[in-house]
Amino acid sequence: MPDPGLGARERLQCLLALVAALAVVSISSSLAWPILAESLRNQGYDETAIGLNAAAQFAGIIIVAGCATWLIPRLGFFRTVVLGLTLVAAMLAMLPTIRDYSLWFVFRFVLGIGNSLLFTAGDTWINQIVDNRVRGRWMGIYNTAGMAGWAVGPLLGAYMDPNSYAPFLVGIGAVGVAFVFLLPARLIDVRLRLGRESPAPLASLLPVFLVAPTVMLSSCMFGVVEGGLQSFAHLYTMDVLGLEYRAMGYAVIWVGLIGAIFFQYPAGWLADRIDRGWLLTGCVSSAAVAMALFPWLLPGATGPWWTPGALALWAVVVVWGGTMGATFTVGITLVGERFRDVKLVAAVAVFSLLFGVGGLAGPFLVGAAMDRFGPPGFPASMLSVTVLYALFAAYRQATRSRRVAQ
């Protein structure tokens, strides 16, 4: 458990250090996605091939989810995060050095393992040590900082050559800064105890899923949309508007992330005050509406930002990014509410596993849809998944509400 000698102020400083570290390392992740996709397109690969390559990164997430309940209790949260940082830095160094499509599958797989170690341990660490009364707000702060880091990546990427070393050196620098920020947080490290009755790592995952399937599947839906958006939003924008709007394609990702930044704390604040299940359903439904409007409003990006068409487009992108990001905040808050200790590690592992499954399917699904149907396949594929989940979540929540009322 955290050092009992720490005062409230010191513990707060350590918590903020942990949040800052995970936020900064997000820069490297959000910069890598679009840069790698554009680099592969420049080499002549189609959207399906790009999607398959991106999916390898999410496969690494699945591997970590399977061993998290064994690894994290033994290493502790701090050392697990440091291991993740090391793997991410190593792969960011390898990717621009060896630009081989087949080897990039390996590099991105290991990069996915590193990122998953970081965020699975980080999400569990914070959820384990905060009080349920303010859990939503703390997760809102944590995800606001994380989304701020994610927003920086595409902004930098729009002005960097994907065929150069520069984007990857920036990512490595972000990892180094994150490590420095992380150091004070070692004072609030938590070593979880494994009881003799603890099941094998994989055996602990299914029961956790069955306790909260709606919450867990929200992560899968989020993974599909996130993987598709990060890999193809800028390519879709260039296909529709023309290559001269390359920077505008990155702006779509960036503005969506700005929306996510500003929606996180309000979503966490609401999660501490109203039914979290209905809040999750409302966030997903709002994202679906924004997603449906996006392709109709995209031509507004060709005009000055103050014109009605442009304002409508960017408003919809903000809502799309904000409400989709809020589903993650509310979902991970619900996970922390329902599970503790090693079961919390298992729950976050399932949450991450399903994010990995969604992210594995997302780039492939969106890429294949764009190959088959052209640019309209980009919004249509993600909207279909979002609407299906929204209907499932609304049904489950309505059924639960009726059962409680009886």
Given the structure tokens 């949450």, which residue do they identify? 351
- pLDDT in the model for residue 110: 93
Q: What is the mean pLDDT of residues 377-396?
A: 92
Asked if residue 112 belongs to a domain, the reply is yes
- pLDDT in the model for residue 4: 45
Asked if residue 196 belongs to a domain, the reply is no
Q: CA-CA distance, 395 to 231, in Å (whole number)?
A: 31
Asked if residue 393 belongs to a domain, the reply is yes
Residue 338 Cα distances to 47, 105, 291, 347, 348, angstroms: 40, 36, 31, 9, 11
- pLDDT in the model for residue 203: 57
Q: CA-CA distance, 287 to 231, in Å (whole number)?
A: 18
Domain that holds residue 79: 8-190+201-405
Asked if residue 224 belongs to a domain, the reply is yes
Asked if residue 115 belongs to a domain, the reply is yes
224-242: per-residue pLDDT in tens?
988 888 778 878 888 887 7
The residue ranking higher by pLDDT, 286 or 250, is 286
The runs of H, that is alpha helices, within 132-242 are 135-157, 166-182, 205-211, 213-241
Residue 99 Cα distances to 39, 40, 170, angstroms: 9, 9, 18
Mean of the per-residue pLDDT values for the chain?
Answer: 82
The residue ranking higher by pLDDT, 2 or 80, is 80
Asked if residue 195 belongs to a domain, the reply is no
What residues contact residue 169 under an 8 Å CB cut-off, 6+ apart? none
pLDDT band at 279 (very low <50, low <70, confident <90, very high): very high
Q: CA-CA distance, 21 to 179, in Å (whole number)?
A: 7
Give me 188's structure tokens: 């609030």
- pLDDT in the model for residue 196: 53
Q: Is the pLDDT of residue 195 over 60?
A: no
**What is the number of structural domains in the chain?**
1
Q: What is the mean pLDDT of residues 207-211?
A: 81
- pLDDT in the model for residue 293: 93
Asked if residue 37 belongs to a domain, the reply is yes
pLDDT band at 204 (very low <50, low <70, confident <90, very high): low
State percent of the chain over pLDDT 70.
Answer: 93
State percent of the chain over pLDDT 90.
Answer: 17
Q: What is the pTM of this model?
A: 0.74
Asked if residue 3 belongs to a domain, the reply is no
Q: CA-CA distance, 10 to 186, in Å (whole number)?
A: 12
CATH number of residue 122's parent domain: 1.20.1250.20
pLDDT band at 206 (very low <50, low <70, confident <90, very high): confident
Q: What is the mean pLDDT of residues 357-367?
A: 83
- pLDDT in the model for residue 38: 83
- pLDDT in the model for residue 233: 80
Give me 104's structure tokens: 């990039």
Q: What is the mean pLDDT of residues 2-8?
A: 54
- Whether the CA torsion 333, 338, 340, 343 is positive or negative: it is negative
Given the structure tokens 């349920």, which residue do they identify? 132
pLDDT band at 319 (very low <50, low <70, confident <90, very high): very high
Following DSSP, what letter does each residue of 25-44 receive, concatenated?
Answer: HHHHHHHHHHHHHHHHHHTT
- By C-alpha distance, which of 252, 260, 290, 21 is closest to 154? 252
18-69: per-residue pLDDT in tens?
888 888 888 887 788 778 888 888 888 887 788 788 878 877 877 887 788 7
Q: CA-CA distance, 107 to 56, in Å (whole number)?
A: 9
